[in-house]
Amino acid sequence: MKYRELGKSGLKVSAMGLGCMGMSHGYGAAGDKKEMIKLIHQAVEKGVTFFDTAEVYGPYTNEELVGEALEPYRKEVVIATKCGIQIVDGKQIVIGKPETMRRSIEGSLKRLRTEYIDLYYLHRVDPKTPIEEVAETMKQLQQEGKIRHWGVSEAGVQTIRRAHAVFPLTAVQSEYSMWWREPEKELLPTLEELGIGFVPFSPLGKGFLTGSISKDTRFDKSDFRNIVPRFTTENLNANQVIIDFIKILANEKNATPAQIALAWVLAVKPWIAPIPGTTKLSRLEENLQSINVEITPEELRKINDMLNSIPISGDRYPEELAKRVGK
């Protein structure tokens, strides 16, 4: 395993983390608990030290799973979790008030069976709560020994700058992949300037970049992708051209499409640590092998030139969820 520092924070993590959400939330039925714990243990044994969860996944059950699985390895791993999305009357509501954050951290510490959270994110920016108040609360939580580092997820660069000025951020989380390169415009240059790490979620495009999803794929009724515009039959068909290109690259590198997609993310900057999720050992092993697939700066430039010429069909979020992406 190779390791990376998130920005200039001093927090070192495995170059590839493990996103745990899909083990109990978002992508159909929850996995078998014993099997998921076994998978997390296998990830640790393979050198993964960076595990990502959130209060809202389940809700609560994903943190419980991760806490139970990582309890024997607590001092060897970095646990990241998130606050700021509450379930109210069965709906997800963004609430970033300091008092809500304080309630959330106590619940997360208990479920994760730990005295501290290594990296605590605000899951989504609450437009009703100034980010300075959030940053101040995070600073207090660190002083109290409850968190070691903090971050924001899906926040815009103005918010990031304001937050960082109050209490330096360790990491920003956002979607980033060969299929969604919006962060390259403003986010990545800002993070580089401020010395903040980047943790991309969905680096495999919610599974699409593995090459195993086609226009004929049908998802479980509880699968989040059913409401994502990019995953309509028409858009999946239109976007197949990017998969064809990735398959050519995979052939050249003697790798799989998933490994190319992950190696690409790793090649962009040395302070990026993606968190692909999986519920299968075979996929975990495949993903981790991508660390050994080298993409040179010159190859990266050529790949990006080609990606620039491929139009992407469909939005990454339905309208209601798109509104929660920060400015």
Other Cβ atoms within 10 Å of 285 Cβ, number = 13
Report the amino acid identity of residue 81.
T
Q: What are phi and psi of 191, to 5 degrees?
A: -65, -40
φ, ψ for residue 200, nearest 5 deg: -75, 130
| Whole-number Å distance between alpha carbons of 20 and 11 | 20
Task: Give catalytic status of residue 60 as yes or no.
Answer: no
- d(CA 194, CA 310) in angstroms, rounded, equals 31
Burial status of residue 258 (CB atoms within 10 A of its CB: 0-12, 13-18, 19 or more): buried
CA distances from 242 to 65, 208, 237, 261, 275 (A): 35, 10, 10, 11, 21
Say how far apart CA 39 and CA 43 lie, in whole Å: 6
Q: Three-class SS of residue 159? A: helix
Phi then psi for residue 272, to 5 deg, are -105, 130
Residue among 3, 27, 57, 121 flagged as catalytic: 57
**Enclosing H/E stretch for 238:** helix 233-238
Kind of pairing between the strands at 171-175 and 197-201: parallel
Q: At what angle do helices 297-308 and 257-268 cross, to 10 degrees?
A: 110
The region, left, alpha or beta by phi > 0 then psi within -120 to 50, assigned to residue 298 is alpha
What are the catalytic residues? 57
